[in-house]
Structure 1
């Protein structure tokens, strides 16, 4: 249980990488841009991969009626996400310490992993909803209006994951360093649960083997 608890302490600390590295990355490449434009999505805001990338992307988006890329204070997520990560790191480390001193069972490790997974899914859902609004809610008075073959307005929603062709742009959306650090940290907590369960079962078997066999006394009639 000690080894499992140490893993449980270390795993959540990997989430702190989200404060230093981007969670997600979106790159836009086109013939007129030999060096692709890019956005790094952090838990506290959106930054350009290069100095003027966000300015150039906003300039392009203006012609087709897309909103400007939101600043940190314009999305509630950028205020909430850092607090959620700090809370989950603190909770995970606390559970690991309590497990080290045998104050909680290994099942708490799985509980933290499940809770973090749920929060991750909700975060991805929220991110996808923002991308949908960002690429679909266009200004009707935009300079350029592009429609689909059926006449409906074309949407410019970047992909949540993978590659997509948007007009003459190749758009690629992939997890970045922060997301991979979070993944590694979560896998460490899952491993901590498995090691804790194995250790607990081994302890039960050892206690069973050491337990003395019962002796039956014959009674006289």
Structure 2
């Protein structure tokens, strides 16, 4: 079996790491919490970084009118299927396909990743801006508009006395490395085809 095909299959199988490890993490630091509160986002669930973190985040959010972090969202039913299909397609392309299909797979996977990040951003936006007008505490921006509490999509952001961090976790790195290997497989396959 050619090296390019082996890399394509390995790259595809690395996506299976998303079924084992979290994809993303949001952490909230504040003086009143010596141990920061955190939430891991998997492709099929939310989980506490430390026991009861999500419960404590929901309690805080209630005071400013934010929605509760739900136990599940519709995407948790879609993402596992999408990843599973891409793993199977990638393996089949690796075993039986032309190297040009390696690039097609990478483009499709990239588009799915972009769509997933956009969906995550829109969920965060709604979560941080669609506030209950009857909330116990109301905060406004200097211009008088209602303050939003949206965590960052990527990076660090200060929200009142909280510092919110949003970064990829191990599952995302498995995916990034897997996708990188499929690009390497494409160029290697191109070179093998010339030889």
Same fold (TM over 0.5): yes
Q: Does 1:70 align with 2:63?
A: no
2:129 paired residue among 125, 133, 136: 136
Helix, strand or coil at the partner of 2:163: strand
Q: Does 1:175 align with 2:173?
A: no
Deviation at 1:197, TM superposition (A): 0.5
1:8 aligned partner:
8
Find the structure with the greater CA-based Rg. Answer: 1
2:141 aligned partner:
148
Q: Does 1:44 align with 2:44?
A: yes
Helix, strand or coil at the partner of 1:15: helix
Residue-pair matches, total: 195
Task: Give the Cα separation in 2 of the matches to 1:177 and 1:166.
Answer: 26
Gaps of 5+ in 1: 99-103, 204-221
Q: Does 1:88 align with 2:81?
A: no
CA offsets 1:96-136 (integer angstroms, 9 cap, x no match): 110xxxxx321011110010000000000000000000000
* TM-score between both structures, scaled by the size of structure 2: 0.98
Task: Give the Cα separation in 1 of the matches to 2:81 and 2:99.
Answer: 26
Deviation at 1:70, TM superposition (A): 1.2
Gaps of 5+ in 2: none
1:161 aligned partner:
154
Helix, strand or coil at the partner of 2:151: coil
Deviation at 1:71, TM superposition (A): 1.1
CA offsets 1:53-108 (integer angstroms, 9 cap, x no match): 00100000000000000112xx110000000000000000010110xxxxx32101
1:188 paired residue among 159, 167, 181: 181
CA offsets 1:167-217 (integer angstroms, 9 cap, x no match): 00000000111001000000010000010011112x2xxxxxxxxxxxxxx
- Please tell me the root mean square deviation across aligned C-alpha atoms, in Å: 0.8
* TM-score between both structures, scaled by the size of structure 1: 0.87
Task: Give the Cα separation in 2 of the matches to 1:51 and 1:105.
Answer: 48
4+ aligned runs moved over 6 Å, structure 1? none
